[in-house]
Amino acid sequence: MKMNNVASSQHTSPAVMLDLLRAERERRSASASLYEFVQQAWPIVEPGVPFIGGWHIEQICEHLEACSQGDLKKLLINIPPRHSKSTIVSVMWPMWEWLTDPAQKFLCASYSGNLSIRDNLKARRLIQSPWYQERWGHMFKLAGDQNAKQRYENDKTGYRLATSVGGTATGEGGSRLLLDDPHSAQEAQSDAFREAAVEWFDVVWSTRLNDPKKDVMVTIMQRLHERDISGHIMDDIGGWEHLIIPAEWDGQRRSTSVGEYDPRTEMGELICPDRFGEKEIADLKKLLGQYSSAGQLQQEPSPAEGGILKTKYFNFWPADVGLPPFEYILQSYDCAFTEKSTGDPTACTVWAIFTHEGSRHVMLIDAWDEHLSYPNLREKAIKGWGTEYGGSKMDSPFTRNKRPDRILVEAKASGQSLLQDLRMANVPAIGYNPGNADKISRAHQAAPTLELGLCWIPESKKTPGHPVNWASGFIKQLAKFPVATHDDYVDTFTQAIIYFKNDGFFDLPVARDYDDPQLKVVVDNVNPYAA
């Protein structure tokens, strides 16, 4: 459409001229803004379905625009189902990009080839619509000899190819790789299907970029399992921008390089109540169950309060209140079998006993996990014993500095060697022996102490009501146990709590299950701080 030609016509009525001007204004706004394009194209792509906008659509569009501009190369979006994600990402965005760069080559995949083809057809229907052709038909034409439901090309070398997870995509490359729902809900619960999808992602899909330095990969999905492709991207790969939109606001202030994006202010506030209100979300929770709701709705594939170890029972020590004097500090180690990145890392948590409201409580004051070779582990453990906990990890200072009193090491794997070397270095190390108690049994032993409200974590100053940042990995792992991939933090927690119970720090006696032949006198003293 050439507006100057239209405007020069002496026979155009004012009413027609206004319509033409309005159409031109809409064309320009849609060309400049993906969100505007989505609004205008919606009746064509989703006929009979009213468009319900919202901040979540604006944010998805803004992040996709950043991809188009070259500011983002790898974008992961986690959002609940039925919030228009496929329509925006897989249908609208490619056809919007062709407005300015019809040479872009899109490879689009889903767990089902039929779903990919469905979106392919929707996108083609949009291109061929009078609305699109009247405004941008001069930009490109669909090639007549390459115009099938699975693949079509334009005369500017651009194309859109639909495939499925597990497909080979042999000989095909793309400048835009769109992965939309790579797992079905059923297959994600199968280790074999899930691991096959992850392998395909690494070996096939991630190698399809024509130019890895400038081309773009976008993955959009709801979380279905801790080790789904999203989990693999975040835990094993890294380097992706991560847009997380939970169905109900959980109090976390999230941001990407594009900026802070979630405007909600009330706990439990929904994404788009006009589309999915409280009743709809409640019905979905009933249908999905606790575990699936945590994944598909909240994008955390575990119940927020945990399974056996319900993290909702942790108390948060206020960030604006000075931490109490610590009476006893214990470092608890769970050592890896090897330094390989595929297994559990070595984990260490540090626990401090303090008196609160007339009884003893325990606070997590440090936590880390890392894949370490044994010499480096030994060096770090000896150095860690010399740490004076005086506020370096917390925004709120301790009332006094204090070194650890004891190191507790599970006497297995490299832990046995660490225990021996620490004792040779005159470090007061104690060996933990769980005997016949498995991990779940130990978790059940530790759970009552947590549920009684005796366990604390320092509160984040930046995000009140949430733990300090360094404790977030610890909290997430406990919440996911026993379905978590790793349980190193869980082991350090349970053995520390059992140690404190055994030694009489809490009035919750259980059978002793640690051994310390060299420090027998100290160990047999039931409570070092008893009157």
Average pLDDT over residues 191-219: 93
Q: What's the rounded mean pLDDT across residues 271-294? A: 84
Single pTM value for the model: 0.65
> What pLDDT is stored for residue 144 in this prediction?
77
Residues 470 and 324 in one domain: yes
Per-residue pLDDT tens digits for 63-81: 999 999 999 999 999 999 8
Domain-embedded: residue 11: no
The overall average pLDDT reported for the chain is: 85
Q: Let me know: does 79 contact 299? Beta carbons within 8 Å.
A: yes
- Tell whether the model's pLDDT for residue 439 goes beyond 70: yes
Structural domain range at position 66: 19-296
Residues 460 and 471: their CA atoms lie apart, in Å, by 10
pLDDT at 516 over 50: no
pLDDT at 46 over 90: yes
Are both 65 and 163 inside the same structural domain? yes
For tokens 């733990």, name the residue: 467
Contact 492, 330 (CB under 8 A): no
Among 187-196, 302-311, 419-428, name the one with the lowest average pLDDT.
302-311
Q: Are residues 343 and 469 in the same domain?
A: yes
Listed residue (235, 403, 407) closest to 335, CA to CA: 407
| Residue 8 domain-assigned (yes or no) | no
Assess whether 255 and 369 both reside in one domain.
Answer: no
Q: Does residue 185 lie within any of the structural domains?
A: yes
Residues 179 and 255 in one domain: yes
Smallest CA-to-CA distance from 136 within 156, 162, 107 is with 156
Model confidence at 293, pLDDT cuts 50, 70, 90, reads confident
Q: Among the three residues 296, 329, 348, which one is the final residue of a domain in this structure?
A: 296
Percent of the chain with pLDDT over 70: 88
How many domains does the chain contain in total?
2
What residues are paired with 105 via a beta bridge? 159
How confident is residue 438, by pLDDT bands cut at 50, 70 and 90?
confident
Q: Does residue 512 carry a pLDDT above 90?
A: no
pLDDT of residue 339: 54
Would you give the DSSP letter of residue 467?
B
* Residue of higher predicted confidence among 440 and 240: 240
DSSP letter, residue 164: E
Torsion of CA 10, 11, 16, 20, to 10 degrees: -40
Contact indicator for 125, 149 with CB cutoff of 8 Å: no
Does 242 share its domain with 319? no
Q: What is the pLDDT of residues 147-169, one digit of tens each?
A: 678 899 999 999 999 999 987 66
Do residues 244 and 373 share a domain? no
The answer to whether residues 23 and 128 belong to one domain is: yes
**pLDDT grade for 390, boundaries at 50, 70 and 90:** low
Asked if pLDDT for residue 101 goes beyond 90, the answer is yes
Task: State whether 207 and 243 are in the same domain.
Answer: yes
Give the pLDDT confidence score for residue 397 in this predicted structure.
45
Q: Are residues 34 and 165 in the same domain?
A: yes
Specify the pLDDT at position 410.
86
**Of the residues 265, 296, 327, which one is the last residue of a structural domain?**
296
Q: Can you tell me the mean pLDDT for 420-436?
A: 87
Neighbours of 15 (CB within 10 A): 8
Q: What mean pLDDT is predicted for residues 338-363?
A: 83
Averaged pLDDT for residues 439-447:
84
- Of 267, 296, 325, which residue sits at a domain end? 296
Q: Are residues 204 and 340 in the same domain?
A: no
Which CATH number goes with the domain that contains 348?
A: 3.30.420.240
Instruction: Verify that 262 and 368 share a domain, yes or no.
Output: no
Evaluate whether residue 246 is within a structural domain: yes
| Residues 449, 471: Cα–Cα separation, whole Å | 19
CATH number of the domain that 202 lies in? 3.40.50.300
Q: How far is residue 505's CA from residue 527's CA, in Å, rounded to a whole number? A: 6
